[in-house]
Structure 1
């Protein structure tokens, strides 16, 4: 029997997304093949496959304790989401006869199938950050007698889907602030800022429509601006590490003294970014839209509107109601039409899948966001009525009485 060599050891996944990347969600079946190519007869003890999914955090801090002394503190933490092990070749053998039970691979190409289900739980989305990561991979090890094992490792992508078609993520976000640049007895007036966006949830590739009003009664020239930030927070050993990165921004026109400016749906596009990570105990990825007035030589006046970047985009039925604010000018009052009945809102599973065709599916390095769709059920909307079911209470003024002496 000629002595052969292992020429190729590779892992191939059966399911790939539109970008030829393996992408899955919790509960999905992950299947594939381990490909082995040998140049001659090769005796194999075992071919093992291990699947892992781990969220890991690590950073180092140095502190000085004296003139020439310092110590380094390592902060590490790890959460395991997946651990699967399977043997594709091999079985229990008698230790007294180690040559028994060996599998001989003849020259040529061999394929061995593997499969496993991801846990039915909230998995952390694949992520790469400065102080931590969430990674999923499959590793194959080919063991031969008297030789070092041959190993190969291949990562796959996991998305914990976030459906933005929920009441919480469809609710508008708004705020207002006012600021005076100097003391109350000075002649300079205040700067006022009001901002509003139509909802809280978005997906990469969408544009945030910003409605904003700025009034400059101060003596300085100011500039309204908006910026989208990503905040990465890492936790280890009871301590946190936070990093904020600018994702996208836009600039308004210069606003002189006594002038005002309005944004009627000014658009800020969301580039391909990682979706929000909100359920991982050691890594959080959050987003915030900051609408602010840049004040030269002073502190900026800013409003922070939290956002959630999801994976399942806005459905046609919900985009109708969420676009009302973008169609009307701010402060303009119109009589709203009655909402559709619940039967009109009900969407079949096949139509829900078709709604996602053509959506922007890239994230980070171009991975698919919408490979699989989790089930979403609508709650019936409240009954429509012209009468406010929660009217403001009428304040009853009582006559003042003199205090007893």
Structure 2
């Protein structure tokens, strides 16, 4: 039987680098070969390939139908991105093909759809996967199957006007505990652009004005939000991926960050084009006031795949001051940073409850505008004007009789 004669059954993708799996994007050609190694002569009906790509979400929630009745509600949805079939071996007349002993390779090649695909992703309640499945059909034998996944990364170029725009905002809050007021705390923060790539450092410019009678602690976090959508319902998972802790700001004092550095870890890019899975990022600048809830300012981020060009963008001059000498940034970032805190330690119970109520109120609404919420941060556009033309002739000469006279004359 072929069970005894089949020594190897594998899928090998063509890759420009040895021992490095290839990465594809929309419109690319996926090529490779199916390898069969037989210890003896074998009879084969057909060898068929099926390439697929899906985004899938699934989760369950417990529901109560009364004081003593409970049931589980399932939520799920999927989106198909790739469905391609190809026959690698099959006789035209339907007869059996006899393969001699030895190694046999069957090449395959197909093009991914030109339409924008979605980056591969693995999350708690869903995934985006692409794979190639091969079936080996033999007479009087069980179908032998093999499956191998491949990675798709859709490029996100941060060298676009929308992602090069500076992000800024301000927020204040009265610090209260019970009936007593301790004063006002305000935070103003700005970053030079919206788009970054993993490994980059974000210089955070911020000012913390502490008018209270207590000391406060400024912090900054990079937060990833995974959103899963099915049947008009959302399920979200938030996690802190990077942390920056500032110095204590005493009572009636003010603290300024002149480009404090927070480094983006090796995280996946933003996913914004999928109907059922979103991956979004934000920079959250917070002030921790003892005895009361946090004051937090959120600035949106987009994690891309194509880094900032050294020249050719209007913000290159702004970012160049951080690329000339990065020694002070490296000193501020340890080689092995501590793991970031849990999301629950960053968000207060009051804020978490508000977010939960906001999500619950949106479940019955149309989800087409999930990513069209207005940004809370005020974005300030910087316009660089050229310097005035140099001239040795004074364009505004004063009359002789109006010029000041020398006191010694």
- Post-superposition CA distance 1:40-93 (Å, at most 9, x none): 111000001110010001111121223543222111101000011001000454
Instruction: Summarize the alignment of residues 71-86 of structure 1 with structure 2, pairs less than 5 Å apart.
Output: 71-86=71-86
**1:14–1:32 contact (8 Å) kept in structure 2:** yes
Q: Which residue of 2 aligns with 1:215?
A: 209
**Equivalent-residue separation in structure 2 for 1:205 and 1:66 (angstroms):** 52
Q: State the Cα distance separating 1:386 from its structure 2 match.
A: 6.9
In the comparison of the two structures, how many residue pairs are matched? 327
Q: State the Cα distance separating 1:186 from its structure 2 match.
A: 7.1
Q: State the Cα distance separating 1:202 from its structure 2 match.
A: 0.4
Q: RMSD of the TM alignment (CA)?
A: 2.5
**Equivalent-residue separation in structure 1 for 2:115 and 2:181 (angstroms):** 61
Q: Which residue of 2 aligns with 1:48?
A: 48
**Equivalent-residue separation in structure 2 for 1:8 and 1:65 (angstroms):** 55
1:169 to 163, 167, 189: 163
**Equivalent-residue separation in structure 2 for 1:251 and 1:265 (angstroms):** 13
**2:159–2:313 contact (8 Å) kept in structure 1:** no
**Equivalent-residue separation in structure 2 for 1:66 and 1:93 (angstroms):** 64
User: Which secondary structure state, in structure 2, belongs to the residue aligned with residue 317 of structure 1?
Assistant: coil
**Equivalent-residue separation in structure 1 for 2:87 and 2:109 (angstroms):** 11
| 2:39 matches 1:35 | no
User: Which secondary structure state, in structure 2, belongs to the residue aligned with residue 316 of structure 1?
Assistant: coil
Q: Which residue of 2 aligns with 1:9?
A: 9
| 2:249 matches 1:255 | yes
Q: Which residue of 1 aligns with 2:342?
A: none
TM-score by length of 2: 0.75
Q: State the Cα distance separating 1:171 from its structure 2 match.
A: 0.6
User: What are the ranges of 5 or more consecutive residues in structure 2 without an aligned counterpart?
Assistant: 323-382, 389-409
Kindly tell me: are residues 192 and 383 of structure 1, through their superposed partners in 2, closer, same or farther at Cα, counting changes over 3 Å?
A: closer
**Equivalent-residue separation in structure 2 for 1:62 and 1:126 (angstroms):** 30
2:258 to 264, 267, 273: 264
Q: State the Cα distance separating 1:224 from its structure 2 match.
A: 0.3
**1:4–1:41 contact (8 Å) kept in structure 2:** no
Q: Which residue of 2 aligns with 1:240?
A: 234
- Greater helix percent: which structure? 2
**Equivalent-residue separation in structure 1 for 2:248 and 2:3 (angstroms):** 78
Q: Which residue of 1 aligns with 2:305?
A: 311
**Equivalent-residue separation in structure 2 for 1:123 and 1:221 (angstroms):** 49
**1:22–1:157 contact (8 Å) kept in structure 2:** yes
Q: Which residue of 2 aligns with 1:273?
A: 267
Q: State the Cα distance separating 1:321 from its structure 2 match.
A: 2.9
Kindly tell me: are residues 36 and 2 of structure 1, through their superposed partners in 2, closer, same or farther at Cα, counting changes over 3 Å?
A: closer
**Equivalent-residue separation in structure 1 for 2:17 and 2:257 (angstroms):** 39
Of stretches 278-287 and 291-300 in structure 1, the one that deviates more from structure 2 is 291-300
**Equivalent-residue separation in structure 1 for 2:18 and 2:25 (angstroms):** 16
**2:23–2:152 contact (8 Å) kept in structure 1:** yes
User: What are the ranges of 5 or more consecutive residues in structure 1 without an aligned counterpart?
Assistant: 95-100, 329-381, 388-405
Q: State the Cα distance separating 1:105 from its structure 2 match.
A: 1.3
Q: State the Cα distance separating 1:7 from its structure 2 match.
A: 1.2
**Equivalent-residue separation in structure 1 for 2:244 and 2:116 (angstroms):** 35
User: Which secondary structure state, in structure 2, belongs to the residue aligned with residue 189 of structure 1?
Assistant: strand
TM-score by length of 1: 0.76
Instruction: Summarize the alignment of residues 321-400 of structure 1 with structure 2, pairs less than 5 Å apart.
Output: 321-324=315-318, 327=321
